[in-house]
Homo-oligomer: A and B are copies of this chain.
């Protein structure tokens, strides 16, 4: 019997690089094939769905299974291609487990770009962007997105700001006080592409904070009086942004 392969939360979705179109065949390999064949026990006739970030989401039927590969054929497009809101997350790197979480959650919360930034107080300087990509793909598959966020290579604070596109507003999560609460600031802010900008444990250096606050396209905001871990602050700011300015609105 044919089955729709599912996991808790929905249909089994895979992100692939190949172009997708009616009757197009795609060979699933490596980790995805292992998952399909040995975890989900896929057999010919089973249905999954595929997306590649360009051609929308397609239903696909398993045609052939081998030991290490699985061939599927696209049948019908079930979602047109679409984009998440134009929101970036700029964040100071955190340790491995929080970094995994941050990437997964930011993907679910609908960011378009993840940009690590190395600030003066950043303790973690090695960023495993390959691991971030894998986490982002998995989270995109489970969240129903038809895109995967772009994971950028880390940049220094100074380089990042020097090359910053002036039309993109920065939502600066400022622990220094003396700024509007986040929801109020966002309700007053102009419609624009945005980036949530969060610092490392211990916050931005005073010179960095002053540099950010001096820029005309920066909106400093408060996330209340409790001290939030770096990843908590990032996720909270993304959620509030989506609820006020984004597609939860």
Residue of B nearest to A240 (CB): B243
B227-A142 in contact (CB<8A):
yes
Of B9, B104, B182, B228, which one neighbours A143 at CB under 8 angstroms?
Answer: B228
Residue of B nearest to A228 (CB): B108
Residue of B nearest to A235 (CB): B235
Of B109, B183, B226, which one neighbours A108 at CB under 8 angstroms?
Answer: B226
A226-B143 in contact (CB<8A):
yes
A144 at interface by CB-CB < 8 Å: yes
A205 at interface by CB-CB < 8 Å: no
Task: Please tell me the size bucket of the interface on A.
Answer: 35 or more
* Chain B nearest CB, measured from A102 CB (Å): 11
A116 at interface by CB-CB < 8 Å: no
CA gap between A145 and B184 in the complex, in Å = 24
Count of identical protomers in the assembly: 2
A208 at interface by CB-CB < 8 Å: no
Q: A8-B123, A236-B239 are in contact. Are A224 and B201 (CB under 8 A)?
A: no
A113-160 CB contacts (< 8 Å) to partner B: 121, 123, 142-145
A166-219 CB contacts (< 8 Å) to partner B: 181-184, 200-203
CA gap between A169 and B248 in the complex, in Å = 21
**What would be 13 A-B contacts, judged by CB atoms less than 8 Å apart?**
A8-B202, A9-B202, A9-B203, A101-B101, A104-B232, A142-B227, A143-B226, A143-B227, A144-B226, A183-B243, A235-B236, A236-B242, A237-B239
Other 19 A-B pairs with CB < 8 A, given A105-B229, A224-B242: A8-B121, A8-B201, A9-B202, A9-B203, A9-B229, A10-B227, A105-B235, A108-B229, A108-B232, A109-B228, A144-B225, A144-B226, A181-B249, A183-B249, A224-B247, A224-B248, A225-B247, A236-B239, A236-B242
